[in-house]
Structure 1
Amino acid sequence: MDVRQSIHSDHAKTLDTTGIRKEFLVEKIFEADKYTMVYSHIDRIVIGGIMPVKNTVTIGAEVGKQFGVNYFLERRELGLINIGGDATIIVDGTTYTVKNEEALYIGKGAKSLEFKSVDSSKPAKLYYNSAPAHHTYPTRTITKNDTVAQPLGSLETCNKRTIRKYLVPDVLETCQLSMGMTRLEEGSNWNSMPTHTHERRMEVYFYFDMDDETIVFHMMGKPQETRHVVMHNEQAVISPSWSIHSGVGTKRYTFIWGMIGENLTFDDMDHIAMKDIR
C-alpha cells in the first residue's frame, strides 16, 4: 500500500515539479490480475484500481491488518466505477454484474470481496474510492439510467460537458463518499473552470479515455499560488480541500471525481473569480 501524508499549502507551494508529482500524483492505477491501493492521510481516502484479467482478484483479511482492523471494509465504505469490460463482483456471497460505466457501492461491514472479468479479452477496469464510514448502507449497483446527468458549459468556452452523478444523495445513501463522471464533448478541453475550492471536502480526479498523445494539465494549489501536474491516461491526482482542481487537455477526455469530507452537498463550493487566479 502506497501511503501519502497530508501536506500544508505553504509547504506545497515550495515544491518543484518532481515534489508535486510525488505528493499528489497517482501514476499507476491498473495492473493485470491485481489491485492497487493508495492511502492518503487527507480525510483518510483510499484510491485504487482493480483489474481482473484471467484470475479472480480478492481483497482479503491481509488488507485489514494495514488499517488496524480485521478486514478492509470493517469501518469503511467503497464505491467503484467500471471503465472496462463487464465485471462480476461477489460481495459476501452475493453476485453483482457491473457493466461499462456502471458503478457499485459496497457498504460498511462487507468482509469478502471478489472481482472477476466476464471476458478476459475485455477485462474490467474498476476504479475505486473508499472512505471511513459510521453506518452500513445497502450494497447496490448504479446503472447509467440511475444516475443524475447534468449538462454544463458550451463550445464557445471550450467546456461543453456532461456531469453524471453516481454516488450522490439523489441516487443512494452513503456515509460521506460521493462519486461521479464528467465527459467532455469533442472540441472542449477545459474542466471545472471557472474554478473553485471546497474547504469542507477533499477531492480526487481520475483522468481516462485519452489516447497516448493526449495530456491534461491539471491545475492545483491555492488560487493565488497555482501549480500544475501533467496527467496521462488512467492516472489520478489528489486535491486537498485548500486546492483548486481544474484542467485543460490537448484533446477531449473523461474523468471520475470522488469526494469525501463534512457533507454530501455537490454544489457546496467556494467559487474563485477569474480575475483572482494567479
Structure 2
Amino acid sequence: MEKKIIYTAAIGALTAVFSASAGYYSGIIHTNAVFESLISRLELDLKKEREKNIILTQLLTKQKDEQILQRNNSFENMDFETDDSLQKFLNPENGFNNKKYIPQSLERISSNVIYDSKGGNQVLRKEAKDALEEMGKKFEQETGEKINVVSAYRSYDYQVGIKKGGCPDNLCANPGFSEHQTGLVVDLWSASSKDNWYSNVKLKKYFSWLNENAHKFGFHNTYQKGRDVDGYEIEPWHWRYLGVELATYLRENNLTFAEFYKEKTKNEKK
C-alpha cells in the first residue's frame, strides 16, 4: 500500500514538473515568435527606407545633372566679344572692339560699407557696384572693417597716363586692353605686389576672406596663376565682377577666367 502511495505521488510530481516545463518552453517559443516577427518588420522597414533613399538619390542626381546641363548651356552661349558683355574677355592680345569704349551705366561707389580711397570719385557699372556693396556689408559684419577700393573704372585716357608713367606690360595693360575699362573691376587695399600680399598679415587676412566669399557675390580674382596663364603677373588685389554663376564655377573648379575662356573657345580656333 505504501509503495502504491509513493508511486502515485511520484507520478504526480513528475506530471507537475513536465507541465511546468511545457509552460516554460511554450513561453520561450512564443517569445521567439514575437522577436522574429519584430525582426521581420524591422527588416521590411529598413528595406523600404533603403528604397526611398535610392529613389531620393536618383532624384537629386537627376536634379544636379539638369542644373549642370542648364549651366553648361548658359556657358555655351556666353558672350566674350561684345564690349559691354559682363564676360568680355581681355588680355594683352584681346582688346575692346572700340578701344575707347565707355560703359553706359557707371555709378559712384558711395556706401557706408565701402571706403573709396579717392574721396568718392570712383565709379563702377551698376551691376558691379551693387554686388560690391552687398559684399561690403558681409565683410563688415564679419570683420568690423570696410572694403577699401584703391582703383575701379579706368578710362582709355587714364590708362594712357598710367603707361606713360612707366608701368610695365606684365603689370599694366595697354589702353583699350584693360579690364578696368569694363567698369567691372576693383583693386582692393593695396595694388602693390604678390609678395607684399603674401607676407603682410592684414592683407593675407583680407585675401583669405575674399578667396572664401567673393564668388558668392560674383567677383573673381582674374590674375592668379601668372603671366603664362593669365597674361599678367599675379595680382591678389584685382577682382572682377563676372556674375555669381560663373565666379562660383571658376572658384569650385580652380580655374581662372583666362583658362575658362581658352577651354570654351578652343574649338572655334581650330
| TM superposition score normalised by structure 1 | 0.29
Higher helix share: 2
TM-score between both structures, scaled by the size of structure 2:
0.29
